């Protein structure tokens, strides 16, 4: 089986590739498990060294739109499944409208057209976002987002992701692909460096203090967040690929499970793991630009459809932090409580 991952050199793309290599097989849409023989990682950057050394990994380095338009990029033809994780992130899209439209709308449409032209009906998993739900005074969100809650995006990023969901649904309805859209929750704790996402601080406020570095926490303590660990996020993405059509159900996007907490509760969990020395490194200076985006996002989800697929949220955010510490020991400089 040949799998293509766009955004394959990024954190989630690389983690997905490692998971596929470790499990060695994949069942597509309820079919029998097949060995994973090749994974193509499409990204502007080369893959991490460990993946670059894998014989089953093929890097495809360059702009996604250019690779989709290139007739010499023949790896698309043999793809059994495509995981479309590449995107410009929320803060970038709000600051640069053209970047968001090119990277999120334009690339998704070009990908769907490339897959449609194959005539092989490959399976596509599209990573959407909780940002398709947005609060506004004219149309306030319900207290709890359910599977049938109407998306009302309040940012360019959220609108672009919702457009992508609808395109995937229609290309699936027409029989061009087998499409599955999953709405990712805020993913924390991500290792590495901050990115341009408005949600980046949700990882940074944990990751940087654990490394002994000061970190911004630019929103009030009572700011709610629907959060999922990297492990639960990858689990949800893979389950979307594996579910049979009957299990998957409607063509609408799936809300992945999340734990609901506040920024203050996140900080309290950090303190339980690494003590007051960690939370003393949080810079509480407000950032109005980030607050404007984040305050429109919902903080509570009732993911019954995901539960029906066997997906569950993380047990606690404290355990999420401890998992990060265990997986990234070299990035943790502060003493950690047992």
Instruction: Tell me which residues are annotated as active site.
Output: 157
Provide DSSP, 38-79. EEEEEESSPPPHHHHT-TTEEEEES-HHHHHH-TT-GGGGG-
Structure tokens at 212: 């002994």
CA dihedral sign, ordered 223, 209, 187, 216: positive
> Can you name the residues that pair with 5 across neighbouring β-strands?
41, 83
Provide DSSP, 197-258. -TTTHHHHHHHHHHTT--EE--S-TT-EEEEE-HHHHHHHHHHHHHS-HHHH-SSSPEEPP-
Q: Which of 327, 58, 314 is nearest to 192 (CA)?
A: 327
Q: Report how far residue 230's alpha carbon sits from residue 8's, in angstroms, rounded to the nearest whole number.
A: 15
Give backbone dihedrals phi and psi of 55, rounded to 5 degrees, phi first: -70, -25
Inter-residue contact 89 to 195 (CB < 8 Å): yes
Q: Report how far residue 186's alpha carbon sits from residue 322's, in angstroms, rounded to the nearest whole number.
A: 18
Q: Which of 221, 199, 222 is nearest to 289 (CA)?
A: 199
């Amino acid at each position: 089986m040949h799998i293509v991952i766009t955004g394959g050199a990024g954190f989630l793309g690389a983690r997905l590739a490692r998971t596929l290599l470790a499990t060695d097989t994949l069942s597509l849409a309820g079919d029998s498990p097949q060995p994973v023989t090749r994974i193509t990682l499409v990204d502007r950057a080369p893959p991490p060294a460990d993946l670059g050394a894998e014989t089953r990994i093929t890097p495809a380095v360059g702009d996604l739109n250019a690779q989709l338009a290139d007739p010499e990029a023949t790896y698309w033809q043999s793809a059994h499944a495509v995981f479309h994780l590449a995107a410009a992130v929320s803060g970038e899209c709000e600051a640069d409208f053209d970047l968001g439209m090119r990277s999120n709308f334009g690339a998704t449409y070009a990908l769907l057209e490339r897959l449609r032209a194959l005539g092989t009906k490959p399976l596509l998993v599209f990573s959407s976002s909780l940002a398709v739900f947005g609060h506004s005074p004219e149309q306030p969100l319900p207290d709890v987002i359910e599977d049938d809650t109407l998306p009302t995006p309040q940012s360019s990023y959220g609108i672009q992701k919702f457009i992508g969901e609808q395109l995937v649904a229609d290309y699936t309805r027409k029989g061009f692909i087998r499409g599955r859209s999953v709405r990712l929750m805020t993913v924390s704790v991500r290792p590495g460096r901050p990115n341009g996402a408005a949600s980046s601080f949700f990882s940074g406020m944990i990751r940087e203090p654990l490394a002994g570095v000061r970190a911004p926490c630019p929103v009030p303590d009572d700011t709610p967040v629907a959060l999922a660990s990297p492990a639960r996020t990858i689990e949800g993405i893979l389950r979307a690929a594996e579910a049979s059509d009957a299990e998957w159900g409607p063509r609408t996007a799936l809300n992945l499970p999340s734990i609901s907490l506040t920024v203050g509760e996140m900080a309290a969990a950090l303190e339980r793991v690494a003590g007051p020395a960690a939370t003393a490194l949080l810079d509480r200076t407000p950032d109005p630009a980030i607050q404007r985006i984040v305050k429109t996002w919902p903080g509570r989800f009732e993911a019954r459809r995901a539960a029906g697929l066997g997906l569950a949220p993380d047990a606690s955010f404290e355990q999420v932090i401890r998992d990060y510490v265990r997986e990234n020991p070299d990035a943790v400089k502060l003493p950690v409580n047992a």
